[in-house]
Amino acid sequence: MKREGRILELLTERKRIEVARLAEELGVSQVTVRKDLNDLERRGIISREHGYAMLRSADDVEGRLAYHYEEKRKIAGRAAECVSDGDVVMVESGSCCALLAAELAETKKDLTIITNSAFIAGYIRGKSNVQIILLGGIYQQDSQVMVGPMLEQCMKGLYVDVLFVGADGYSPRAGFSSRDHMRAQAVHDMAAHAGRVAVVTESEKFARRSTVPLDFNGLDCMVVTDASVGMEVAGSLADAGITLITV
């Protein structure tokens, strides 16, 4: 919904907005805005108090969903086109991945999603057309994701066509990277049980570099991102044999 994206853009800019002011800027009634805010609050993206709406902390998954929301939603929609009814896919943690899981739950039938993200499992709960398999492991509270050696044990006997992952950074020399060693290892363990890896992330991540390489060397890899990705990055992805899809 474009209005929902605009609400999150305004909140990203101002952090806190009066509901009446928000309705005025959007050109809709306060009743309509409150319905939109109720839905965003139900999904944990915003919080409300005393006639105001505000973003949640950017330090958790719910808060990060709001940043570049419209870009992430479009990326998720394009990535979902790679999945068919009845497929079994793996989805790793992150805000783009959460929106992808929601898109799959809304548009696909008889789908199975294997994930190490407790947040994603909760985010798409109640969708009767999706079976969720939540992998076990050590629970990281901020990211709400499972990591560690138990996750690798849970992967035994599982194999899927595609694993969708996020990334914290990228460089032509080191490739995609993560801020967290244990999450990077979780991605590595999951990728070993997938035919292809699809990185879903907004283009601004390509201007960053994190400390732990995700190491997709030798894997069939594709990237779905927005059209603001630079020519230099596009060239380095092509040189690495990585398929680039932009929206």
Residue 141 has pLDDT above 90, yes or no: no
- Selection from 45, 44, 38, 43 nearest residue 19 by Cα: 38
Helix (H, G, I), strand (E, B) or coil at 47: strand
Q: Which of 46, 42, 24 is nearest to 33 (CA)?
A: 24
Output the average pLDDT for the chain.
91
Confidence of residue 138 (pLDDT cuts 50, 70, 90): very high
Domain 71-246 has CATH 3.40.50.1360: yes
With a threshold of 0.75, does the pTM exceed it? yes
Residue with the larger pLDDT of the pair 55 and 164:
164
Position 244 scores a pLDDT of 97
Question: Does residue 59 carry a pLDDT above 70?
Answer: no
Give burial (CB, 10 Å; 0-12/13-18/19+) of 92.
buried
Helix (H) or strand (E) holding 118: helix 118-123
What average pLDDT score do residues 164-179 get? Answer: 93
Q: What is the pLDDT of residues 90-128, one digit of tens each?
A: 999 989 999 999 999 999 999 999 999 999 999 998 888
Is the per-residue pLDDT at 186 higher than 80?
Answer: yes
Range scoring the smallest mean pLDDT among 8-12, 37-41, 120-124, 140-144: 8-12
Domain 2-56 - what CATH class? Answer: mainly alpha
Do the domains spanning 2-56 and 71-246 agree at the CATH topology level? no
- Domain ranges for the chain, please list them: 2-56, 71-246
